[in-house]
Amino acid sequence: MAFLSSRRRRPRLAPELDDQALGRLLKSLVATTRTGTIATTDLCVAQISRLMDENPGDWDRHTHRMTVLADYLRASHLPQSWAKREPHNASALVLHAGTLLARGRAQGGLDDRAEVTRCCLRAAELAPEDPTPWVVLLGAARLERWDQSQVFGLWNEVLARDRWNREAYLNMLGYLTPEEGGSRVQVLEFVDALAARMPANAPCAATELTAQVLQYQSVLARGGVEALVAGNHWGQREATQALDRAVRTWARPEFFHHATALADLNLLAYALMAADRRHEAHPVFEALGGTVTVWPWRTGGDPLAEFEQARRRAAAGL
């Protein structure tokens, strides 16, 4: 994981994070979403296919690229067209299902659950070693509130192919929260079980801190007096320990190698500022170099403005 230069840069939203090849592809796809011409569609399909065929076996990066592309193309005709033209291409099927899922998340429910399921199961048949069909299906199951036995079954299918798949763990965490039908006890048990066996620099390393940020933000969302004292959350033992473990290592050069490391550093910077640990947040902002993720910063308003304000406060607190 090569972090960006510590030179101060203007904040920018970059869903690709530091994946330069993915970033170039996203820029080239703008023409397709605007024109929709056959020639341009063919070109972009070829570019997507080529990128998804890179780094075979690197399921962490493959999942990141598929997730970003699905969200980016959720309003485009391109994934569906590709899946229809190449019904035996696993990547085409997963991307189509992923865009349906991304669209469903934006509107609060799937338009065509059967199509998502069909595409994912067919892709799993075509590429049995690929976890991404199961990742998308797990996301759909979470969105549609499937029974826990079904959801855990899908989660196990992902883990059988990619033991520390970040997207799978975060989906399970969200599914188990009280806001989505689980309970705080289930979240704690899930996080504790993961921490007992997970490598410190695994792609899913941010699961524990994500759980703490979600709990903190749920208190903020209640408003009133509870929101005013929400910062007290970071004085609790579990929250303090999660932050302490992360701050010791995450921002070190080359500690993280997974594709979404910069997203985890955004989470850490946010949590440190929420806990008023500004001097520890400053080197994390330096490592980020201005790359901003929408979550968790959007909770306070515009994510770019929130990030920049927090970065300035961290620098001033030195």
Residue 291 host element (H or E): strand 291-292
Q: CA–CA separation, 177 vs 217, rounded Å? A: 12
- pLDDT at position 223 is 87
Q: How confident is the model at residue 232 (pLDDT cuts 50, 70, 90)?
A: very high
- Quick one: tokens of 280? 């520890």
Q: CA–CA separation, 94 vs 127, rounded Å? A: 11
Q: How confident is the model at residue 299 (pLDDT cuts 50, 70, 90)?
A: confident
Q: How confident is the model at residue 211 (pLDDT cuts 50, 70, 90)?
A: very high
**CATH dotted code for 18-176:** 1.25.40.10
Q: CA–CA separation, 129 vs 115, rounded Å? A: 21
Burial 207-238 (b: 16+ CB within 10 A, else e): bbbbbbbbbbbbebeeeeeeeeebeebbeeee
Q: How confident is the model at residue 34 (pLDDT cuts 50, 70, 90)?
A: low
In the chain, what are the domain boundaries?
A: 1-15+200-318, 18-176
Mean of the pLDDT values across residues 186-191? 96
- pLDDT at position 2 is 47
Q: How confident is the model at residue 44 (pLDDT cuts 50, 70, 90)?
A: confident
Percent of the chain's residues with pLDDT above 70:
94
User: In this predicted structure, which of 52-56, 57-61, 186-190 has the lowest mean pLDDT?
Assistant: 52-56
